[in-house]
Amino acid sequence: MTEMEHHANLIPWQQLAARTGAELTWLPVTTDGRLDLSSIDSIINAKTKIVAITHQSNVLGTINPIKEIVAAARNVGALFILDACQSVPHFKVDVKDLDIDFLAFSGHKAVGPTGVGTLWGRAELLNEMEPFLTGGSMIESVTMSSATFAEAPQRFEAGVPNMAQAVGLGAAIRYLNGIGMENIHNHEVALTKYALDKLQSIPGLKIIGPTEMKNRGAVFSFTMENIHPHDLGQALDQNGIAVRTGHHCAWPLMRVLNVPATTRASLYFYNDYSDIDALISGIYEAKEFFTAPRTKERK
């Protein structure tokens, strides 16, 4: 793993390690929000069985060098699982080109419904795995003393499918493909560069993560001198600007970066330059409100 993982790609492995006695190891994060690969050969070693890493940080916007890490995993015979929740909705992801074994992403980050997502895996690996849920629809044959299971993906889809959400996710994927993933990516790159340039011109504001565009996505976190991220987020909300505040389900990363929380803005195909201008204006307004001298009330 890495120090920038979302809790969803950390806590399940913690639980598995607690049950099996496995040991978790992770790649560290540099001060500028990139992965430190200097010790990758000692971290991913002959004892490594699974490498599970985020494609893009949901806090920093960092797009990780997956091919390089996959190569290290292949050298020791480890499986590679990619958390693509932050990448699949924003740019083209080719599982064959990346040479990965499994990939997962959620629907709600791809303009789809909540409560649904996708797990892709190599067919031969999926068919070697035991089902984690049992019930109707996932069996091949059943007797009173035993059962055999259907091939993947059916063997992992016990019970009544989440049909409405699945239909919604399919519609969302068709919608994104209709726009074009390259078009979405190019639009986000232009907006992100504009936003980073504007944000870095604000006195007292610090970008948490990469400040240049190389291998960077359209999400950025920042702190503001003398203003708590929650206060800044509330002030922006009152101006109709939607941001996220807190640790963003990445508490270990916050500790590594030595920040209690950040304010985070995310851009997508439906945003334009006026949204960024509104964000910048809102930050200046909040800065003036929270840092202006207060006059004492008369008794």
Q: How far apart are CA 248 and CA 60, in angstroms?
A: 10
Q: Where in the chain is the domain with CATH 3.90.1150.10?
A: 181-287
The predicted-structure confidence for 110-152, as pLDDT tens digits, reads as follows 999 999 999 999 999 999 999 999 999 999 999 999 999 999 9
Neighbours of 104 (CB within 10 A): 18
Q: Read out DSSP for 85-126? A: TTTTTTS---HHHHT-SEEEEESGGGTS-SS-EEEEE-HHHH
CB atoms within 10 A of CB 209: 25
Q: Which amino acid is residue 226, in one-letter code?
A: N
Nearest to 276 by CA among 247, 244, 243: 243
Instruction: For residue 257, give the H/E element and its range.
Output: helix 251-257
pLDDT, position 294: 64
Contacts of 66 (CB under 8 A, 6+ apart): 53, 55, 82, 98, 100
Mean pLDDT of 88-107: 98
Which residues, 6+ apart, have CB-to-CB distance to 133 below 8 Å? 156, 158, 159
pLDDT band per the 50, 70, 90 thresholds, residue 295: low
Q: CA–CA separation, 214 vs 10, rounded Å?
A: 26
Measured CA to CA, the distance from residue 237 to residue 152 in angstroms comes to: 45
pLDDT at position 82 is 99
pLDDT digits over 32-56, tens only? 999 999 999 999 999 999 999 999 9
**113 in Cβ contact with 165 (< 8 Å):** yes
pTM, two decimals, is: 0.93
* Residues 228-269 pLDDT 10s: 999 999 999 999 999 999 999 999 999 999 999 999 999 999
Q: What is the mean pLDDT of residues 153-161?
A: 94
Closest CA to 208 of 60, 95, 61, 73: 60
Share of the chain above pLDDT 70, in %: 98
286/228 Cα distance (integer angstroms): 11
Q: Which fold has domain 181-287?
A: Aspartate Aminotransferase, domain 1 (3.90.1150)
The larger pLDDT score, comparing residue 101 to residue 299, is at: 101
Q: What gap in Å lies between CA 11 and CA 9, rounded to an integer? A: 6
- Judge contact between 1 and 9, C-beta under 8 A: yes
Q: Three-state DSSP class for 68?
A: helix
Examine the pLDDT at 72 and tell me if it is beyond 70.
yes
Q: Which is nearest to 213 in space by CA: 61, 82, 68?
A: 61
Whole-number average pLDDT of the chain: 96
Closest CA to 205 of 106, 122, 286: 286
CA distance 89 to 213: 18
For 270-290, write each residue's pLDDT tens digit.
999 999 999 999 999 999 999
- Residue 222's pLDDT is what? 98
* Numbered ranges of CATH 3.40.640.10 in the chain: 7-134+162-175
Using alpha carbons, list the distances in angstroms from residue 203 to 206, 280, 281, 286, 288.
9, 12, 13, 13, 12
Active site residue 85: no
Class of the CATH domain delimited by 7-134+162-175: alpha beta
pLDDT at 298 over 90: no
Which residue out of 76, 95, 167, 249 is catalytically annotated?
A: 249
pLDDT in tens, 174-218: 999 999 999 999 999 999 999 999 999 999 999 999 999 999 999
